[in-house]
Amino acid sequence: MPNFNIDSQKARTYDAIVIGSGMSGGWAAKEFTEKGLKTLVLERGRDVKHNVDYPTTNKMPWEFEHRERMPREVVEANPIQSKCYNFKESAAHFFIRDQDQPYVQEKPFDWIRGYQVGGKSMLWARQTQRWSKYDFEGPARDGFAVEWPIGYDDIAPWYSYVEKFAGITGNKDGLDALPDGEFLAPHEMTCVEKYFKEKVAGTYKDRHIIIGRAAHLTDPQQIHYDQGRAKCQHRVMCERGCPFGGFFSANASTIPWAMKTGNMTLRPHSVVHSIIYDEKKQKATGVRVIDANTKEMTEFYARVIFVNAAAINSNLILLNSTSSRFPNGLGNDSGTLGRYFAFHNYRARISGEYEGFLDTTTDGRRPNGSYIPRFRNLYKQETSGPASRFLRGYAAGFSAHRRSGSDRDSLGASLKESLLHPELGNWSVGSHMMGETIPKESNYLALDPSLKDPYGLPQLKINVAYDDNDEKMVKDYLEQMTEMFTMAGFTNLRTSDSKQAPGLDIHEMGGVRMGKDPKTSMLNKWHQLHEVPNVFVTDGASMTSTSTQNPSLTYMAFTARAANHAVEEMKKKNL
């Protein structure tokens, strides 16, 4: 007589389980399945298939009922998600509804979320800069946060590995503050961006203006064609889903790549409740999953578990994974789980005009901008001058485009002529800051003891705020950029501080930080929980500090490195 219980458990057992199918989860799935591991990928949201589930990708502006603007009642019903610049009629279906997943804001925090296969890789800004050795050395140098257990040399080969597969456009600028990568052909800077680059280089030895580095296929290689992707068409409608696969997303790249190996089982609508810890075996054995539609709980088992649910949800899963051995969350002997949470400070902006180059303009679109790498407190903590007032530093975006306007009140031939030949004005110039925040114990995530979400899970409490260091950094950014813009002859300068709450940067990091000492950190140098080595966390939750670069490329490199280490350890029977 067959033993149905054993057969059922066997059917739910895999070599590896990956929680999350977005930016980092997709990479874990790719690495495991390529190497022959039967892999279960759990995604709490719906499936979104490349080129199948992009309902607005080829719509014209007049085909949207509200010309891409969201109706007032939708905005009012979603006060958090609607703050994101991509929450519009063409892409709002890739965001959750605020009411679907409530959380507790002990301090204001805008938690922007996209629950679907591919996660927020459908919505990201696609900027991809490497960290430098100075970024990894920052915490050890100034004593805030713990020392990273790895350095640039450890991760550099993996940056190259993921860049070649994802496709990164950029220029080899030769800056030690921002190491070069495996670049496809760069986008072109506008003439005013080039002018500003020359003016800054002639005035400041340590400041540089470069074209942005971004995950767009400007010159696709065979590995990209093998993924079914093609050259970026510069449509600049990436948030709708790109039918060409012109930018990197998990949907267009890593997930279908893993699927075609035949080794991946993708299970959408799977909300992870917790990770199962076996106290006799002293390791994790699987995960508990709630079906988002039926609310039924099911257990799945594997030798290795990768947690890639995006930073905040990865914290939630570990906090909710309690046992007699770990009453305060899985692997949380240090008491640091959920703490030392950080983000990027995007509050400050400056804009202006330039009256030169009036005989030139731009043509077409560019899915990229120019970039100012960090120049404050880079090599050392300054002890005098303005930069000594705060720790760490900031990078900045920069762009310049020719202003144009059309008379849209006219009719017939006059209207057509006005649209075809708009009146050109001065050049508009602008910049925004991307500041590093310091991970602090007082910035934390925790589980509410009484409030539950629709799946019966504890609601997450978020207690994260700016500090005096952030305020001083905003002030310095505005002072320095005002000086640089004035030096370049830009006029009509306008500065602003949005005072936006943390979270809208969508660069959540920390809570499950890496470190050398198990007493002060959660993860070792391979992203394994110190106390539960067959559980890995490789998304933003694992970050020890934040630096100033957009973080997704680093998550991808971390994940590929950790997954390959896990496979080697499994071969050695260490996992």
CA–CA separation, 559 vs 450, rounded Å?
A: 34
Calculate mean pLDDT across residues 160-181. Answer: 97
Calculate mean pLDDT across residues 317-346. Answer: 98
The reply to whether 389 falls in a domain is yes
Based on the structure, what is the number of domains in the chain?
A: 1
What pTM value is reported for the model? Answer: 0.96
Give the pLDDT band of residue 551 (cuts 50, 70, 90): very high
- Would you give the end-to-end CA distance of the chain in angstroms? 33
Q: Is the pLDDT of residue 156 over 80?
A: yes
User: Residues 89-133: pLDDT tens digits?
Assistant: 999 999 999 999 999 999 999 999 999 999 999 999 999 999 999
pLDDT, position 2: 56
The reply to whether 403 falls in a domain is yes
Tokens 């509050």, residue located: 347
Beta strands in 314-416 (DSSP E): 339-342, 344-345, 348-354, 370-372, 394-405
Calculate mean pLDDT across residues 506-529. Answer: 97
pLDDT, position 110: 98
The reply to whether 198 falls in a domain is yes
Tokens 């696969």, residue located: 245
Sorted by sequence, the CB contacts under 8 Å of residue 518 that are 6+ apart come out as 333, 334, 524, 530, 531
The reply to whether 65 falls in a domain is no
Q: Is the pLDDT of residue 185 over 70?
A: yes
User: Residues 334-348: pLDDT tens digits?
Assistant: 999 999 999 999 999
- Coil, helix or strand at residue 563: helix
Distances, alpha carbon 432 to alpha carbons 308, 344, 349, 473, in Å: 29, 12, 4, 13
pLDDT, position 408: 75
Calculate mean pLDDT across residues 14-27. Answer: 98
Q: Which amino acid is at 91?
A: A
Give the pLDDT band of residue 49 (cuts 50, 70, 90): very high
Residues pairing with 396 in the sheet: 372, 433
pLDDT, position 319: 98
> 165-169, 420-424, 446-450 — which is least confidently predicted?
420-424
The reply to whether 83 falls in a domain is no
Mean pLDDT taken over the chain:
96
pLDDT, position 142: 84
CA–CA separation, 231 vs 247, rounded Å?
A: 9
Q: Is the pLDDT of residue 3 over 80?
A: no
DSSP count for the chain of H helices, then E strands: 12, 21
H-assigned helices in 167-240: 191-203, 222-226
DSSP string for 56-110: TTT--GGGSTTTTPPPHHHHHH-TTGGGSTT-STTTGGGS--GGGS--EESS---
Q: Which of 359, 329, 375 is nearest to 535 (CA)?
A: 329
pLDDT, position 384: 94
Angle at alpha carbon of residue 85, lines to 79 and 90, rounded to 5° = 95
The reply to whether 357 falls in a domain is yes
The 3-state DSSP composition of the chain as helix, strand, coil percent (nearest 5) reads 30, 25, 50
- Coil, helix or strand at residue 553: helix
Distances, alpha carbon 478 to alpha carbons 196, 251, 370, 390, 482, in Å: 17, 38, 18, 14, 6
pLDDT, position 4: 65
- Coil, helix or strand at residue 34: helix
Which range of residues forms the domain containing residue 389?
171-211+344-436+466-501
> 142-146, 240-244, 375-379 — which is least confidently predicted?
142-146
Q: Which of 405, 400, 374 is nearest to 387 (CA)?
A: 374
DSSP code for 227: T
CB 48 within 8 A of CB 117: yes
User: Residues 470-496: pLDDT tens digits?
Assistant: 999 999 999 999 999 999 999 999 999
Calculate mean pLDDT across residues 221-231. Answer: 98
Sort strands 491-497 and 348-354 into parallel, antiparallel or unpaired.
antiparallel
> 136-150, 261-275, 437-451 — which is least confidently predicted?
136-150
How many Å is the maximal CA-CA distance in the chain? 86
The reply to whether 353 falls in a domain is yes
Sort strands 39-42 and 13-19 into parallel, antiparallel or unpaired.
parallel
pLDDT, position 405: 83
Tokens 């093609």, residue located: 230
pLDDT, position 141: 87
Q: Which of 80, 122, 124, 75 is nearest to 103 (CA)?
A: 80
pLDDT, position 316: 98
CB 495 within 8 A of CB 348: yes
DSSP string for 273-284: EEEEEETTTTEE
The reply to whether 179 falls in a domain is yes
CA–CA separation, 339 vs 275, rounded Å?
A: 20
Give the pLDDT band of residue 164 (cuts 50, 70, 90): very high
Give the pLDDT band of residue 7 (cuts 50, 70, 90): confident
Is the alpha carbon torsion for 178, 434, 509, 295 positive or negative? Answer: negative
